[in-house]
Amino acid sequence: MVRQLVSVVATAWLLAANSHAQPAKVDPAKAQTAKEYVNAGLAAQNAKDFETAISLYQKAYDLIPHPVLLFNIAQAHRLAGHDADALAFYDRYLQAEPNGSQSAVARDFVKEIQAKQAAAQREQEEAKQAELAKQAEEQRKLDEARKADEAKKTEEARKAEEAKRAEQERIAEEQRKADEAREAEDVRNRPGRSLRIAGIAAGGVGVVSVGVSVFFGLRARSISADLSKVGAVYDPARIEDGEAAERNAIITGIAGGALIAGGAVAYYLGFKQRQDASVETVSLLVKPDLIGLAIGGTLP
């Protein structure tokens, strides 16, 4: 307020001073009009109507271009918050009157405004940096969320793929088992299969029987050779054993041969059996007077 009053007094003094303080050959009427503009400007400035004050000071300066009026215009701009315009008019005043009555005050206000602008610039820069940091943090969170979502989708896709593969493997395993079961069933239901199995079984039993027959035959021959030796003692039990061994050799030999032959026939019929050939039963017959295979059904 003190500086403002200094400006006002200086301006009022300027306009009220003698002609040696004013530009040469100033029209008194213009000087009076300029004074009225200044007084009105001071009133507007005191009423905080700075825009009107600036306009009135400018009109006064247009009539009487005194440097102090530049100072007053700068003051009104500063009070109005027009820092850039205030600096411009303070600079014009200092250029016109570098050692004028208000030059020190003008320089102080220039420093004050420049410091204010620097502080505002710093605040703007800090706010900008804070906003950039905020945006970077938000972007980082967005990137993390995106990566987490992508990782989640990847994991879900992996699990879905594993589940799909497991399901395919399960279906394939079930199909394999079904194919094996069907193949086994086909084998069981294949024409002539039972005959071939029966033929193989009969042939196997026949081979064993022939082997047993050979054994008994060798035993009977050994007993006979012992009894035929010179000086051998007559032994009825030994003779009976030889006869039994010979009889068993004959029986098992016949049975073995029959089984082998019957097995061969059954195996052959199994290969020959078709839709028009039906062999329903195959039985192994063992009787005191008969050993063989009984085949029931219709032959082609």
Residue 90 has pLDDT above 60, yes or no: yes
Place of tokens 């993390």: 144
Tell me the one-letter amino acid at 21.
A
Can you tell me the distance from the alpha carbon of 264 to that of 200, in angstroms, rounded to the nearest whole number? 8
12-26, 121-135, 227-241, 251-265: least confidently modelled range = 12-26
Rounded (to 5) percent helix, strand, coil in the chain: 80, 5, 15
Helix or strand (DSSP H, E) at 256: helix 236-272
Can you tell me the distance from the alpha carbon of 191 to that of 269, in angstroms, rounded to the nearest whole number? 10
Residues 197, 282: contact at Cβ < 8 Å?
no
Residue 40 has pLDDT above 90, yes or no: yes
Angle, in degrees to the nearest 10, between helices 103-189 and 83-96: 150
Percentage of the chain beyond pLDDT 70 is 79
Between 238 and 143, the more confident residue is 143
Biggest CA pair distance of the chain: 193
pTM over 0.75: no
Residue 159 has pLDDT above 50, yes or no: yes
Phi, psi of 294 (to 5 degrees): -105, 115
Residue 278, pLDDT score? 54
Phi, psi of 191 (to 5 degrees): -55, 135
| Nearest alpha-carbon partner for 54 in 72, 30, 33 | 72
Residue 2, pLDDT score? 39
Angle, in degrees to the nearest 10, between helices 193-227 and 103-189: 60
pLDDT in tens, 224-252: 787 777 666 767 887 888 788 788 888 88
Residue 17, pLDDT score? 41
C-beta neighbour count of 111 within 10 angstroms: 10
Mean pLDDT on 98-104: 95
Residue 138 has pLDDT above 50, yes or no: yes
Mean pLDDT on 105-117: 96
pLDDT band of 275, cuts 50, 70, 90: low
Can you tell me the distance from the alpha carbon of 105 to that of 109, in angstroms, rounded to the nearest whole number? 6
Q: Give whichever of 88-92, 209-213, 219-223 has the largest mean pLDDT.
A: 88-92
> What is the three-class DSSP state of 151?
helix
Residue 205, pLDDT score? 86
